[in-house]
Structure 1
Amino acid sequence: MHISAEPIPLSELEQRKRYEIDDACTAALNAATAGTPAAEIDTWSTQVAEAAAWRSWKSKGGLSINKPSTPLLTRLAAARGLPIADLVARVEARAAVFTTQAGDLIGRRQAKADQINAVRASLDSGAIDPSTARARFEAITW
Structure 2
Amino acid sequence: MSVAILTVPAEVDLWAVLLAARAAELAILDNTLGEAGADHSLIVASADEAAAQAIIDAAPLLDRVGSAAAAKRRDIHAAAAARIEAVVETYPLHERESWDQQWQEAQALAADPEAEVPLLTAIAAARVITVAAMAAKVTAKRGPFAAAAGAIIGSQQALEDSLQAALDAFDGGGSAEDALAAIAAIDPADVANWP
- TM-score greater than 0.5 by the shorter chain: yes
Displacement, 1:39? 1.2
2:98 to 24, 30, 43: 43
Secondary structure at 2:142 match in 1: helix
Query: Aligned partners of 1:93 and 1:140: how far apart in 2?
Result: 36
Query: Aligned partners of 2:161 and 2:115: how far apart in 1?
Result: 42
Query: Aligned partners of 1:132 and 1:117: how far apart in 2?
Result: 13
The percentage of counterpart residues that share the same residue type is: 31
Displacement, 1:16? 1.4
State the partner residue of 1:132: 178
Provide the TM-score with structure 2 as the length reference. Answer: 0.62
Query: Aligned partners of 1:93 and 1:12: how far apart in 2?
Result: 43
1:80-95 superposed matches below 5 A: 80-95=127-142
Give aligned pairs, total.
Answer: 127
Q: Which string of whole-angstrom CA distances, capped at 9 and with x for unpartnered residues, describes residues 47-77 of structure 1?
A: 00100111122xxxx4xxxx11100000000
State the partner residue of 2:158: 111
1:28 to 83, 89, 94: 83
Name the structure with the higher strand share: 2
1:54 to 106, 109, 112: 109
- Structure 2: 5+ residue runs without aligned partners? 1-60, 189-195
Secondary structure at 1:135 match in 2: helix
State the partner residue of 2:71: 16
Displacement, 1:129? 1.2
Name the structure with the higher helix share: 1
Secondary structure at 2:129 match in 1: coil
Query: Aligned partners of 1:93 and 1:116: how far apart in 2?
Result: 36
- Structure 1: 5+ residue runs without aligned partners? 1-6
Secondary structure at 2:91 match in 1: coil
Query: Aligned partners of 2:115 and 2:135: how far apart in 1?
Result: 13
Runs in 1 of length 4+ with deviation above 3 angstroms? none
Q: Which string of whole-angstrom CA distances, capped at 9 and with x for unpartnered residues, describes residues 86-134 of structure 1?
A: 11111011111111111111111112112111211110120x2122112
Q: Structure 1 residues 69-78 or 114-123, which shifts more?
A: 114-123
Displacement, 1:31? 0.7
Query: Aligned partners of 1:86 and 1:36: how far apart in 2?
Result: 20
